[in-house]
Chains A and B, each alone.
Chain A
Amino acid sequence: MKIVDDVPSPLTALDRPNSYIGRAVPRPNLKRLTQGRAQYVSDLVLPRMAHVAFLRSPFAHARITSIDTSAAGKAQGVIAIVTGAELAKVITPWVGVLTHLKGLKSAPQNAMAIDHACWQGEAVCAVIARTRAEAEDACELITVDYEELTPVTDPETALDADTPVIHPDLGDNLAFARSLDAGDVDKAFAQSDAVVETTFIFGRHTGVTNEPRSIIADWNTGDQRLTVYQGTQAPHMMQNLYGKHLGLEEHQVRVVTKDVGGSFGIKVHSYADEMAVVALSKLLKRPIKFVADRLESFVTDIHARDHRVTGKIGIMKDGTITAFEIDDLTGIGPYSVYPRTSGIEANQVVNLVGGPYACPNYRAHARVVFQNKNVMSQYRAVGHPIATAVTEGLVDLAAAKIGMDPVEVRRKNLYADDAYPVTAASGIKFEQLSHHATTDKLVAMMDYEALRANQEQARKKGIYRGIGFASFIEVTNPSAAFYGVGGARISAQDGATVKLDGSGAIFCHTGVSEQGQGAEAVIAQCVASSFGVSLDKVRVIMGDTDNTPYGGGTWASRAAGIGGEAAWQAGKALRENVLAAAASILQARPDDLDIDNGIVVDKGTKTERITLSEVARICYFRPDTLPPGFQAELVATRHYVPRNWPFSFTNGMQASYLEVDTDTGFIKLLKHWCVEDCGTVINPQLVDEQIRGGIVQGLGGALFENCLYDERGQMLNGNMADYLVPMAMEMPDMEIGHVVSPTADSELGAKGAGEAGTAGAPACVMNAINDALRPLGAEPLTQMPFTPGRVLRALGKV
């Protein structure tokens, strides 16, 4: 392995000096991370800061009859003890619904349970003390009397007449349902040569960010302002929520996000305990810090997946897919999470199943039910791993049934690369995808034929290897169609403000935020390229609602495609402003000038005319020497939101090669490939690493990760030792390739890349396992995670 320094790639969007588009430049923030000089919220200490620990419900469903805090109040270091009822005087409850998810309902949720605890882990009382340890000591001295209620834990029976209704005011335990019927599904199945039906089960799992959720809220009564330091993906969204529920104007709230130790969708939601922290700061008039410990992370960080999908596919002997049908059931916990709701994942499953394939007949039914478990909501690749596994699992089973090669059946049915624009059966719209080009590239990259030969040889020695494929599509660059139209104040647009400072350097203030993806580098690349300076002259400011343009933050693979375009346009606008100023100084015409590597030059001859620092010096310190009537504007702001397409879909294909030990059920991942198309690649290294990281998160869900609950709603493995996440030795090397179909919606043409890996990896592994075990006559495995026990059961060995 040799690490190569940044090499200019042929993928430059502009034939100019300082064109960093398509180049693997290193991220500007890396050194502070490698030297241990980052500043995560958990590192931060403020004057007068106190710590909160929450006493949490040990029951999944209970009525709280009394709370006795008298002993705890006398404990060392205790500053205050606050119950849910007391806190409700400071912060109003919320309801996690969106109007475009028709019929979605949820109950009002409070920052802490008042008299009704709905999941194991819900906070019922807060202890504020000088140290976290003292706060936890005092929690142990609180006596809460609970009347245990029957918990609703099984989604399959959540709607039965004899199952208790968790929130009686809602009438039933149904949060949301959606049905879709396109084409003529019954006729298509009736005319098919073969029909395959099976049930896929997706285990509940969670994000396990290495840095747990962390927040410090600081209500300053002098300023009448609340400053919240928080590891969040959406600072402006949180600013709005805190203002709204504390009765403050939005401008009274500032959210500051510095380094964030992983997010993956976990940190894009409101959390009841974090709402409690801001309320406690307002109540106690001092900074309050809360860092979730790992045990409470497992029972409070949003969980995801937990779907049971019955799927059906029809196919002709020639491989033509005739119809898809699914029935999806998912349990989301006792509340729909605010403000993005818990209806989106099922909605996405309905939207995405069958998505890569030109099949007009599709019927879907989805139900989302409440249960007394931790809340569920959007986690990396929302809905995609489920939809992709169902679709690709069905396609493979159908192909096996008619004896067709899995690549062949896909080539037969994938939308042709020249067919776009396309509206799929579910109604989703594709601007330009490249399924056939990505398939061709993938098959060549992995040397499919050689791999099949290797598989065949291994089988002769009793070694069972499998090859699995998954074509996928991914929602990126969301417009207001995702949340805004449903009434949530979550910005789809993003802004960038760039300024020339007094020394000739560029500052770019952006609404997108950084949690490790490399957004800071991407924004700098866009500005440096469109303005015309070297990267080291660009400083990016992000994660501060006081100091950045209004924006959505970083989620749904939007930072590069949306934030990058805004930064690109802002750089261009500033360039015009600076050239106007330089022209005024030089008595030249702006059109005759250019900015080249930080120097104003004559267009064409490249003769140096004036440096940026000299332009800045004159404009800032000697404006008296400028011609009368000319005012230099050395700041420019631009915003961008996709308008022509509700989402910018990306596509790709993944492949997995693995070995199943038929004696132990263990699965060894040998190699993984992904070819994807995210449009213009701004930074190939960062895109590849997003794909790789995403793949491994998908592999985690496919093989290891599972929040196990018993029938009483108790999480059984809520710690890092028992909840398994991928470790280095279990993970394969991953080869990544690209096809480039830029979106015409933006000048840069970049789509998102953050979730493609997670979308396709589980499907691919599932298909590879079943490919490995097919000669042994094993029942196809369709329940994730694919544990050794499940493998052995499929083989009939246990």
Chain B
Amino acid sequence: MTPHYDITLTVNGERVTAHVEGRKSLVDFLREDLTLTGSHVGCEHGVCGACSVRVNGAVLRGCLLLAVQCDGAVVETIEGVSDSGEIADLQDAFEKRNALQCGFCTPGMLLTAQELLASGKGTDRDEIRDYISGNYCRCTGYHAIVDAVQAVAQARHAASE
């Protein structure tokens, strides 16, 4: 038996208590223990960004964090931000612009894009390209993703003026 630990954290607004294996990554915990399969496992070594989740407000790699490190943390996943409506405009733009094909990178891509947009940036294409470079997409070639993020940035700017 590898060592197990008790943890309590908030996931998508729900309080969760669990007894987890010490070596278990956050993304495996979310996917296997909480059946939140919207966060994906692409490389398990912190490169591709498919496992991106928000931990205490910052978008981080779910494969590079252990679940035990998240004791007491506030974790938000694609399921949470979808249900809350927080990124509804971004999801809508991705759908209209076909800024996704297989969709495997999309949850992580959306969370990363939202982090950029929430900082008030994202109207400049190079800025978008730079910010999402840690999220690999093999299908789209990125152009449509940049279009969608830029369109939302412009719309949010226009709405706030």
- Please tell me if the beta carbons of B148 and A697 are within 8 angstroms of each other in the complex: no
Closest 8 CB pairs of A and B: A36-B38, A33-B103, A516-B101, A516-B102, A261-B104, A696-B141, A36-B78, A720-B47
Chain A residue nearest in CB terms to B41: A42
User: Does the CB pair A34–B45 fall under 8 Å?
Assistant: no
Using CB atoms, name the residue of chain B closest to A692. B141
Check if A33 sits within 8 Å of B138, measured CB to CB.
no
Interface residue? A275 (CB, 8 A): no
User: Which A residues are in CB contact (< 8 Å) with B151?
Assistant: 1-3
Q: Are B129 and A729 in contact (CB under 8 A)?
A: yes
| Stretch of A163-171, A207-215, A531-539 with 4 or more beta carbons under 8 angstroms from chain B | A207-215
With a CB–CB cut-off of 8 A, which chain B residues contact A76? 1
- Contact residues of A between 1 and 17, Cβ < 8 Å to B: 1-3, 5
Q: Does A27 contact B (CB under 8 A)?
A: yes
Q: Does A333 contact B (CB under 8 A)?
A: no
Given contacts A210-B50, A728-B146, contact A262 B39 (CB under 8 A): no
Residues of B within 8 A of A294 (CB): 42-45, 48
- In the complex, which residues of chain B have a beta carbon less than 8 angstroms from the beta carbon of A26? 95-96, 98
* A439 contacts the other chain (CB 8 A): no
Closest partner residue, chain A, to B39 (CB atom):
A36
CA of A794 to CA of B36, assembled, Å:
51
Complex-state Cα separation, A20 to B141, whole angstroms: 26
Q: Would B148 and A692 count as touching, CB distance under 8 A?
A: no
With both chains docked as a complex, state the minimum distance between the C-beta of B131 and any C-beta of chain A, in angstroms: 8
B105 adjacent to chain A (CB < 8 Å): yes
- In the complex, whether A725 has a CB less than 8 A from a CB of chain B is yes
Residue in A5, A209, A263, A731 whose CB lies within 8 Å of B129 = A731
Which chain A residue lies CB-closest to B31?
A43
B137 within 8 A of A: yes
What residues on B are CB-neighbors of A729 within 8 Å? 126, 129-130, 133
- Asked whether any CB of chain B lies closer than 8 Å to the CB of A46, the reply is no
Which of A208, A685, A733 contacts B138 (CB under 8 A)? A208
A689 adjacent to B82 (CB under 8 Å): no
Contact between B91 and A31 (Cβ–Cβ < 8 Å)?
Answer: yes
CB distance from A114 to the nearest CB of B (A): 30
A34–B133 contact, CB under 8 A? no
**Which residues of chain B come closer than 8 Å to A695, judged between CB atoms?**
141
User: Whose C-beta in chain A lies nearest to the C-beta of B21?
Assistant: A133
What range describes how many residues of A lie at the interface?
35 or more
CA distance in complex: A365, B99 (Å) = 42
B69 at the A/B interface (Cβ < 8 Å)?
Answer: no
Beta-carbon contact of B98 and A719 below 8 Å: no
**Residue among A30, A211, A731 making CB contact with B42, cutoff 8 Å:** A211
Is the CB of B128 closer than 8 A to any CB of chain A?
yes
Q: In the complex, A262 Cα to B105 Cα: how many Å?
A: 10
> Which residues of chain B are within 8 angstroms of A694 by Cβ–Cβ distance?
141
Q: Is the CB–CB distance between B150 and A261 below 8 Å?
A: no
The docked-state distance in angstroms from the alpha carbon of A212 to that of B145 is: 22
B4 CB to closest chain A CB (Å) equals: 13
CB pair A5 B96 closer than 8 Å: yes
Query: Which residues in chain B, 67-98, are within 8 Å of chain A measured between CB atoms?
Result: 77-79, 82, 91, 93-98
CB distance from A785 to the nearest CB of B (A): 16
One of A33, A264, A291, A696 near B100 (C-beta < 8 A):
A33
Residue in B closest to A77 when the chains form the complex, CB atoms: B1
B125 within 8 A of A: yes
Which listed residue, A5, A36, A291, A725, touches B82 by the CB 8 Å rule?
A36
CB–CB A36/B37 < 8 A: yes
Beta-carbon contacts of B103-135 to A below 8 Å, as 1s and 0s?
111110010000000000000011011101111
Nearest B residue to A694 by beta-carbon distance?
B141
Enumerate B129-161 residues with CB–CB distance to A below 8 Å. Answer: 129-130, 132-148, 150-151, 154
A452 to B106, CA, bound (A): 38
Q: Is B39 touching A731 in the complex (CB atoms < 8 A)?
A: no
A692 touching B100 in the complex, CB below 8 Å, given contacts A26-B95, A727-B133: no
Sampled A-B contacts (22; CB under 8 Å): A30-B95, A30-B98, A30-B103, A33-B100, A36-B39, A36-B77, A36-B78, A38-B103, A40-B104, A42-B37, A42-B41, A207-B138, A261-B40, A294-B44, A294-B48, A515-B101, A689-B101, A697-B138, A729-B133, A730-B133, A733-B125, A733-B146
| Chain A residues, CB < 8 A from B142 | 696, 726, 728, 731
Q: Does A686 contact B (CB under 8 A)?
A: yes
Q: Do A686 and B98 form a contact, CB below 8 Å, given A727-B136, A731-B129?
A: yes
B102 touches A515 (CB 8 A): yes
Using known A-B contacts A260-B102, A264-B138, determine if residue A721 contacts B47 with beta carbons closer than 8 Å.
yes
Taking CB atoms, residues of chain B closer than 8 Å to A730 are: 133
Does residue B19 face the partner (Cβ distance < 8 Å to A)?
no
List the B residue with the shortest CB-CB distance to A695: B141
Given contacts A294-B43, A720-B43, 10 further A-B contacts (CB under 8 A): A27-B98, A30-B94, A31-B91, A33-B106, A42-B41, A210-B48, A685-B98, A720-B45, A729-B133, A730-B133
A210 adjacent to B44 (CB under 8 Å): no
Contact of A476 with B by CB under 8 A? no
The reply to whether A210 and B105 contact each other, CB–CB distance below 8 Å, is yes
Q: B138 contacts A725, CB within 8 Å?
A: yes
Shortest C-beta distance, B31 to chain A (Å), equals 7
Most buried by A among B44, B132, B143, B145: B143
A39 to B125 alpha-carbon distance, docked (Å): 32
